[in-house]
Chains A and B, each alone.
Chain A
């Protein structure tokens, strides 16, 4: 036997130990009183296609009549007699809190097709009936659920791996002017290699570059995340402050508080945030003294572009604090 088969059988065995009789049993049981005749039961079994029925006397399980018993009754000519005269009172039952493996062993031992289920060991309080096919159905159901769980888990795993491949994270140090643009360039290369159309890559790269530059020039440091999703590219740039005093003003092209040093480097023209907004399909920025500035810019990919209509870029004028230029 292969290891694979051994594992399968172990799994089935473990499951059969786990599944309790009460989970697999049928709860709605047709019962007859001991005063019923074999013919009453025969007609009922014929209608319902059951192969046996428990006999209950004032709430107590007292016996079981199977098709075999009915055939015997025909033979003996007592088909129209009440069953209590001839039925066997020695009953094999299974308690509901036993595992189905116990029931399975009893089927095997006695050659029965069904077992009455009682509330607890030694009790004659009927709560259901269990057949071998009940056990099999429940087992299949359980295996199916396990398979679904495994599949779902694998899907999540694959999605997670995909996400890793399409997720970029950059720590951005303040005053690292020499490093400015590294994140934007790496993002550009990655997006191009993942098949994002060049004009969209350019927009994302400009967003990254300006956001990166803002963190370097105007903050105490921060980070930038780029996520490539099926329908969009999301850029999140966040810094540790000190925040933007007047966001509305900072969004105006040409507004700047940059010093000569920054301007001499070719930045600080007051175009950063307007540039980012212009390149993004969706734009959101919040700034506060406590939390710093967080910017989210989304560029929609071709399949998603039609849904972009009516999604305005938003500036949240709330949560703004200390004066700062972007």
Chain B
């Protein structure tokens, strides 16, 4: 999944970072506690949050997030947008609630049945 796919799925509005919509999204973190996000081990993930301050961008930058999704159509603070532009991290505003966003994305992230390789022994040995 790319950041662009995610924007489409959530019918989100790209606040900044349009040039990075091709970036891969391999995991998700949904939290309003940034320390929890900092404890998150994965990279290239989408950060879903209800927070709007500049710290969401700091956190995303430090942990190597692909993009930030702000739920419930909240406007990011100007400092956050400026920092996101400087660090090259897209911010997306989504109308849905955190729960709805998670439900949508988890369906999208689930591999389709026919896309899962059935061979239990892919190397053929």
Contacts and interface: CB of A to CB of B under 8 A. Distances in A.
Interface string B10-53: 00000000000000000000001111101100010000010101
A178 interface: yes
Interface stretch (B56-64, B91-99, B100-108, B117-125): B56-64
A178 B79 contact: yes
A265 B34 CA distance: 8
A323 B36 CA distance: 23
A269 B62 contact: no
B-side interface mostly:
helix
A180 B58 contact: yes
A223 interface: no
Contact of B38 (A188, A210, A263): A210
Contact of A269 (B35, B49, B63, B79): B35
Contact of B62 (A177, A178, A185, A268): A185
B61 A185 contact: yes
A271 B36 contact: yes
A202 B63 CA distance: 6
B58 A210 contact: no
B58 A181 contact: yes
B64 A202 contact: yes
A185 to B, nearest CB: 6
Contacts of A263: 33
Given A271-B33, A271-B38, A180 B63 contact: no
Given A205-B62, A206-B62, A209-B62, A181 B55 contact: yes
A249 B15 CA distance: 41
A188 B61 contact: yes
B38 A265 contact: no
Contacts of A270: 35
B35 A271 contact: yes
A198 B61 contact: no
Given A210-B35, A266-B32, A271-B33, A198 B64 contact: yes
A209 B53 contact: no
Given A181-B54, A209-B62, A271-B39, 4 more contacts: A185-B58, A266-B53, A267-B33, A269-B36
16 contacts: A181-B59, A185-B58, A185-B61, A185-B87, A188-B61, A198-B64, A202-B63, A205-B62, A206-B63, A265-B51, A266-B59, A267-B33, A269-B34, A270-B35, A271-B36, A275-B38
What 8 pairs between A and B have smallest CB-CB spacing? A181-B58, A271-B35, A266-B34, A269-B33, A205-B62, A269-B35, A266-B51, A206-B38
